[in-house]
A and B are shown apart, each in its own frame.
Chain A
Amino acid sequence: MFKYLPHTHEDIAAMLKTIGVDDIDALFGDVPKSLRNQEIKIPNSLSEIEMHQHFYTLSKMNTPLIPFMGAGAYDHYTPSVIRHLIERQEFLTAYTPYQPEISQGTLQYIFEFQSMITQLTGLDVANASMYDGATATGEAMFMACALAKKETIFISRTVNPNIINVVKTYAEYKGIHVEMIEEEAGQTSRAALQEKLASTPTAGLIVQTPNVYGFLEDLTGVKEALEQHKALLIINQDPSTLSHLKTPHAWGADIAIGECQTLGVPLSFGGPYIGYMATRTKYMRKMPGRICGVTKDTDGKRAFVLTLQAREQHIRRDKANSNICSNQSLLALFVTIYMSIMGKKGVYEVQQRSYDNAHYLYEKLLALPTFSAYADQPFFKEFTVRTTLDVSAMNQALQAAGYLGPLPFSKFDSSKQDLVTFALTEKRTKQEIDAVLDIIREVA
């Protein structure tokens, strides 16, 4: 017997009798003998006590560092209530809400999530989530190409290179052509965009703000330029910054996507995170993923249900625009609770603290002879600066003191050895920032 396997000898005997076979092996008579393989060479079963001991050893092999880096993963605080609520079995162990009468809980939080994403982005409709911000961007490309009936997409060089990589992989196999729009002083080059628009028909442009450097993109006039060429504007934006920053809707975006990890989701070595997607009502029927809507039951009572399912793979099969099925539902609940507990004021305050911390560090760094501005652009909680220091020596010194130093930008672009990108959240204290500054001064 084993704790997850309840069958006793008596149970097995009675069940076999009903089935009309002599032993369990007879249930596998259709599997060719040459394939039968009953042994699985994995370690022996661990009891719970041994599991705790084993994980204690594994934990010792990890050294969590205090991050001064973002680069797509940001160390915001997770309020205690979230973990307790999302681990309620009703949420945690449920399947996709295909039986709406007993899934109103899941459906309701999806509806609340969609509502909050539309509040942040200013757009009309959001879906129930995507895997992450990068794959959401790939899906936005598919959607734009389907809407515009074109097979070219523009993407700005200032988008995080990991997102660009995912978009390029998705594009390559679907037969979509990707054109890069080059950078100018930490921004998407407007001249390069105009030039490319004049020469190449495109389904749309993908930009990110704040971009890979942390700089805010000034998108004034971009929508108009694209419209002249019947191209869509796709904005990838960290949703947490929408406490303060101009919305994708206000910039004229047709599709907004991004990574919701910044809404309190733990770093967890890169996942699970959660992508979002929002669009205009007129494009809703081409949006990938699940959408929750409102309906009534036979008594006229309000209820929630997955809607517009005719877009999706389980109905449309090879004609579907996307193959997404499982998404990041529990993480949608996570960030919905985050936005509820922090609320209108808390989300703003957290981002303001992050903004202030980042600007404090930026000011102090630029006062050092070893640091200078990379570009004179506004930023939010992440910024890129030039340094004359040996970046790896600096980061080793920081690591020795328990800090994760800035991203050496050379990880993304080997021609930029002298750039580093810092990110700060509300969790960083003045004491930590000052300590990091002291270490940096000593490296010099």
Chain B
Amino acid sequence: MYYDKLIFDLSTEGRKGYTLPKAEVKRYDLPKSTYLRDDCPGLPEVSELEVVRHYTNVSFKNFGIEKGFYPLGSCTMKYNPKINQDMANLPAFASLHPYQPIDTVQGVLKVYHDTQTWLSEISGLDTFTLNPYAGAHGELIGLMIIKAYHRDRGDSKRTKIIVPDSAHGTNPASATVAGLESVEVKSNPDGTVNLADLKAVLGDDIAGIMLTNPNTVGIFEKDILEIARLVHEAGGLLYYDGANLNPLLGVARPGDMGFDIMHINLHKTFSTPHGGGGPGSGPVGVTKALKPYLPKPVVEKQGDQYVIIDEPKTTLGQISHFYGNIGVVLKAYTYILSMGREHLPEIAKYSTLNANYIKESLKDVYQLPIEGICKHEFVFDGLKDKSTGVTTLDVAKRLLDFDVHPPTIFFPLVFKQTIMIEPPETESKQTIDHFISIMRQVALEASQEPDKVKGAPYNTVVKRLDEALAARKPIVKYKDLETN
């Protein structure tokens, strides 16, 4: 049975789902009516069981990592360990007010400080801030740092930031929000940065470059040292988009490659759950020279004590109300300690092994535009046989029928029918073999019964959606449903 009720549909006047202690303090008069609303917000009135059953039924309409394989490219959908959750929920952390005196929060500040230190060790950058809330937020702060750095050197012409055409959409968007102009450089056929193109745009108006390495087609920028030399020589800085950090753990460090600034997605590389689109956490790391620009407040260790510095001598300013998503940091901290120095360096190996194995096992039926060894992810450019008219969208929708989350599709934009596959290190050979067999079956169906694939999905709670309809006449709240 398809559950299509909204919580508002369950509302019955007078029903309640909460208890409160007996009031001990008298009721005080409310302020004059100028300040008061004259109606009551239309929130539902439901019992506790109704709420529990409703959201349990709503949850059944979702696909999570614990249900099946989730090879979503550039998203690093690895297993989210349970113990992370248990540690983050401990009342001794969850009940702390952000303005408690320093001596009463040494435990959480130790977690904060150790995480900063370990991220530095992992990435090769000198200092980290954990204040940014997400990857895109980290990018924004990183670009602000680049801008502030040039400004303080009196070099105000540097208003442009180089972004490869294969970059995540957040890169150019973050540049705009930071008041910089993005300059796109074309990729080589293998997705790497074209050095000649790069040289052509480098000049005294370039503030820096944003790169992810391996890039979004899963290829390591083997000329990274040369790129770094060129950009630095031209007076620019290098920003590392940490979305693809997973295949570098135990292999190489962005700081050693010459990157000056980076963000890390704790919700990708460090196993904290994505939560259906957040909360994430996007710590930003910088070289020693850029440390003065980190956002405030700053957490430091002074002697035996961890301290919060609200007003550091120099800073680019404040970018979060408090200190970032601490609850997420606690999970990443637990993960780093669980993996430890023994196992964290194994992540790159197994994620890269998984990706190459899938690539080689499917390239006879899916179009592989970039031959050779990839890192943790790679792209197909749709099915090899294009004569059937079955598109990447169709393949993705058909995968839904087999309880596999589809790979990322139509990104990066450098190919027309991109299927971007990232099988994290937590996935076993059995799971991956199963995925390969399903992908082959869909390819076979595409050639034998193309209409079947074009009509997919069939086994999901809803079938293919009319996305254009939603935009033409937006219905964005319950009240709109009642009036439509």
Contacts and interface: CB of A to CB of B under 8 A. Distances in A.
A284 interface: yes
A297 B323 contact: no
B277 A128 contact: yes
Interface string A389-414: 00000010001000010010001000
A246 B36 contact: yes
A367 to B, nearest CB: 15
A336 B46 CA distance: 13
Given A36-B252, A115-B8, A218-B34, A62 B104 contact: yes
B179 A174 contact: yes
A67 B18 CA distance: 23
B97 A404 contact: yes
A64 B103 CA distance: 11
**Residue of B28, B61, B426, B481 with most partner-chain A CB within 10 A:** B61
A81 B50 CA distance: 11
Interface residues of B, number: 202
Interface string A325-364: 1111111010011011111111111101101110110000
Interface stretch (A179-187, A191-199, A224-232, A270-278): A270-278
Interface string B84-123: 0101011111111111110111111011000000100110
Interface in B274-304: 274-280, 295
A350 B104 CA distance: 28
Contacts of A118: 477, 479
B405 interface: yes
**Residue of A36, A58, A333, A355 with most partner-chain B CB within 10 A:** A58
Given A61-B106, A268-B96, A429-B24, A340 B326 contact: no
A443 B474 CA distance: 59
A347 B44 CA distance: 11
Contacts of A340: 7, 17, 43-44, 46, 51, 54-55
Given A109-B55, A115-B478, A133 B169 contact: no
Given A37-B252, A104-B62, A293 B345 contact: no
Interface in A236-273: 242-247, 250, 259, 266-273
A176 B232 CA distance: 30
A278 to B, nearest CB: 10
Interface in A1-53: 2, 4-7, 11-12, 14-16, 18-21, 24, 26-32, 34-46, 48, 51
A71 interface: yes
Contacts of A105: 58-62, 276
B360 interface: yes
Given A297-B463, A343-B44, A46 B176 contact: no
Contacts of A62: 92-93, 96, 104-108
Contacts of A357: 25
A119 interface: yes
A359 B110 CA distance: 38
B353 A341 contact: no
A294 B475 contact: yes
A326 B320 CA distance: 15
A103 B461 CA distance: 10
Interface in A127-171: 128-129, 131-135, 142, 162-163, 165-166, 168-170
A422 interface: no
A104 B3 CA distance: 10
B173 A313 contact: yes
Interface string B156-194: 000000010000111011111111011000000000000
A32 B58 CA distance: 49
A294 B45 CA distance: 23
B64 A90 contact: yes
A418 interface: no
B200 interface: no
A109 B43 CA distance: 14
Contact of B277 (A242, A245, A290, A319): A290
**Residue of A4, A218, A323, A329 with most partner-chain B CB within 10 A:** A323
A158 B99 CA distance: 20
Given A2-B343, A36-B251, A102 B18 contact: no
Contacts of A163: 321
A359 B26 CA distance: 10
B440 interface: no
B307 interface: no
Interface in A77-102: 79, 81, 83-85, 87-97, 99-102
Query: What is the interface residue range for chain A against chain B?
Result: 35 or more
Interface string B314-337: 001111111111111000001011
A211 interface: no
A323 B98 contact: no
Nearest to A116: B43
**Residue of A28, A71, A116 with most partner-chain B CB within 10 A:** A28
B41 interface: yes
Contact of B136 (A69, A165, A325): A325
Contacts of A218: 34-35
Nearest to A302: B4
A45 B337 contact: yes
B274 to A, nearest CB: 5
Contacts of B448: none
Given A58-B110, A62-B107, A345-B45, A46 B340 contact: yes
A348 B426 contact: no
Given A91-B62, A303-B465, A325-B136, A267 B277 contact: no
B444 interface: no
A29 B373 contact: yes
A258 B462 CA distance: 34
B44 A245 contact: no
Given A64-B96, A99-B400, A175-B179, A111 B477 contact: yes
B96 A51 contact: no
A19 B37 contact: no
A45 B44 contact: no
A136 B221 CA distance: 36
B309 interface: no
A180 to B, nearest CB: 16
B338 A51 contact: yes
A328 B90 contact: no
B416 to A, nearest CB: 16
**Residue of A299, A307, A430 with most partner-chain B CB within 10 A:** A307
20 contacts: A5-B426, A11-B429, A35-B224, A42-B336, A43-B340, A72-B321, A91-B59, A92-B273, A95-B277, A114-B476, A131-B278, A290-B277, A302-B4, A325-B170, A340-B7, A340-B43, A342-B17, A346-B16, A347-B43, A356-B25
Q: Sorted from nearest, which 5 A-B pairs have the closest CB atoms?
A: A270-B322, A45-B340, A330-B275, A105-B62, A61-B107
Given A269-B323, A329-B278, 13 more contacts: A4-B339, A15-B356, A40-B345, A93-B64, A105-B61, A119-B42, A269-B108, A293-B474, A296-B469, A317-B182, A318-B172, A327-B277, A333-B276
